[in-house]
Chains A and B, each alone.
Chain A
C-alpha cells in the first residue's frame, strides 16, 4: 500500500524542498507586489499624467519635443485657478452634488420598501417581480432619451437641472432594489420577528429593526447610486443646455472645449478634482459594497 503513497522526503530532500518553497514564497510576494503596482499604475496613469499636465505652461505643453512627464518650463497654477475663476466649475460641482443627493434620497425612499417587499414579505410573485425590475435596468438610456425629452417638456422641466432629479432614479432604482434585496435578505429573520413579538407592527419592525441593521448595505447602495448619477452623460446632454444648470459630466466638456480649442490643463485639473473625492468615498465603503453584492447577486 505504501507503493502508492510516495515516501516522505528525507532530511536532505526536505531541506531542499524547504528552500524551494521558501524561494517560491519570496517569488510570489515579489510577483504580487509587482502585479499590484502595475495594476495601480495602469489604472491611475491618465490621472497621474493629468496632475502633471494641469500645471504646465502652454508653451511647455504644446511642444511635442518636450518630455510630457516632467516640467520643461516652470509649473504654473494659472490654469487651475482659471477653472475656479473663469468657468462655472463650482456651479457644475454644486449641481452634481445636490442632484446626486436628491436622486439618492428618492432612490432609497422608493427602493428600500420595494426591496423589502420583494425580499421578505413572501409574496408568490416576488421572484418574477425581481427579474422584471432587473430587466428595466436593461432598457438603455439611449433608447429612452428621445421620448423622455418629450416627457420632460411636458413637465415643464426642459433646460432645468430638476429634469435630472426626475429622470435619474430610473437608472438608480432598479439596480438599487436589486442590491438592497441582497442586503435585506442578509438581516436575520429572527430579529424582525423578535421586534414583532415585542409589540411592533410589521411596518414598525421594518423601520426599527431591519433598516438599521441593513444600514451598511444602504450606505453602499447610496455610494453606488451616486457614482452612477455623477457619471451619467446622455440624459444630462440632451435635457439641459444652459451653462448654469449643467452638471459636471456635461458642463466640464462643453465649457472647456470650445469648438476645436481644448483648455487641456483646466480639463485635466477638473478631472482630477472630481475623480479623487468620489474614489475616496467609494473606497471607504468598498467592503460593504462587496458584501452586498455577494448576498444580492448569487441568491438573485
Chain B
C-alpha cells in the first residue's frame, strides 16, 4: 500500500532528433502537459478521458515504461523517476492482458516471483493463494489461448496480485470483454480491490466504469487534468464544460445566455407538472421521443432560457405526463440543479440570477 504522486509531469513525443528519422522532427506531441496528481492510501483512482488524452501515457510513466520529459513520479514518498519498472514494485494489467502465451497459467502467475528470486515452495504457496483468491485454481495447467476472455483477465489480475505490489496499475482491463461479462467483472474488480486494499490506478475511457469503480475520478483531456473528485462531485459539480459534457449520457445540456452557459442534466429537465413550483420554466419544442428501458428521452429545442438550443430531457418511468413530438410543452428545471459556466473559457462560475 502506498501513495502515488506525480508532480508537474510532462511528456513530449517526437521532439528528440534521434527518433523517427528524417523530416518528422518538427511535429512534437505533448501527451502529458503538466500534471499534478496524488492518490490517497489504498484509494481506487480512475483516470478517465477520451482516447489520446494522455491517460495511458500517464499510467505508463508511473509504471516506469515511459520516461517523463520533466517532472517527478513519487511512490510512497520516494522519487522513482528514472528508475526502471522493476525497482518500483508496481504491478500492471495491460489492456491485452499480455499473458505469456507459451507459459501455463501457473507459469504466468509465478513469473514475477521468479524474477524476484523467491524460493520454489514460497512461490508455489503464493501462486495458489492468488489463484484461490481469483478462483482460477482449476485452470493452473492451461495455456492462455485455452482460456475465455474473463478467465484471461483473472489470470492477469492474479499475476499482478501475487507479488503484493505497492500499487496496481490497470489499463482498460475490461475493454476486451463482452458487455455482459464486463458488468460482472467490474463488480468483482471493485470487491476485490476493497478486499486487498492496495492503491489502484485505473485507466478507462468508459464513464460508466469510472463512475462505478472509482473512489475518485480524474478527468483528463489534452494531457491536462480537468477535475479530480469523487464520482458524485464530478457528476454534479463539473469543473468545466468539458467534464460536464464528457460525463453523463446523454450529456449535460448547455444553453448560452448573455456570455454565460446555463447547464442542467437531462434528468432534471422535467415537465412543469412534475416539477417544484419555483422551478425555472423552460419551453420545449419537442422533436422526438425515445423510449429506453422505461425512461423517456425527449429531444427538442429549449425556448425562453437563453438562445434557442437543442436539449435533451430524460423522464424517469415515474413521470407519466404525456409528451408528444411536434408540440410545444412547458418543462422546468429546479433552480438548485442549474450550473453556470463562462462561455469564453468553459470554466464553472458562480450562480447567476435568472
Contact = CB atoms under 8 A, between A and B. Distances in A.
In the complex, A touching B (Cβ < 8 A): yes
Interface of A: 1-2, 4-6, 8-11, 14, 17-18, 21-22
A21 B75 contact: no
Contacts of B2: 8
B114 interface: no
B78 interface: yes
Q: What is the size category of the interface that chain B forms with chain A?
A: 10 to 19
17 contacts: A1-B164, A5-B89, A5-B165, A8-B2, A8-B75, A8-B76, A8-B166, A9-B78, A9-B80, A9-B83, A10-B78, A11-B79, A14-B79, A14-B80, A14-B83, A21-B83, A21-B84
A132 to B, nearest CB: 28
Contacts of B83: 9, 14, 17-18, 21
B82 A22 contact: yes
A104 to B, nearest CB: 30
Interface of B: 1-2, 75-76, 78-80, 82-84, 87-89, 116, 126, 163-166
Contacts of A10: 78
A8 B78 contact: yes
Contacts of B79: 11, 14
Given A4-B163, A8-B80, A11-B79, 15 more contacts: A2-B1, A2-B164, A4-B164, A5-B89, A6-B89, A8-B2, A8-B75, A8-B88, A8-B89, A8-B166, A14-B83, A21-B82, A21-B83, A21-B84, A22-B82
Contacts of B82: 18, 21-22
A5 B2 CA distance: 12
Contacts of A17: 83, 87
Nearest to B122: A4
A227 B118 CA distance: 52
Nearest to A25: B84
A21 B116 CA distance: 17
A82 B302 CA distance: 92
A31 B69 CA distance: 25
A7 to B, nearest CB: 8
B78 A14 contact: yes
B281 to A, nearest CB: 52
A96 to B, nearest CB: 33
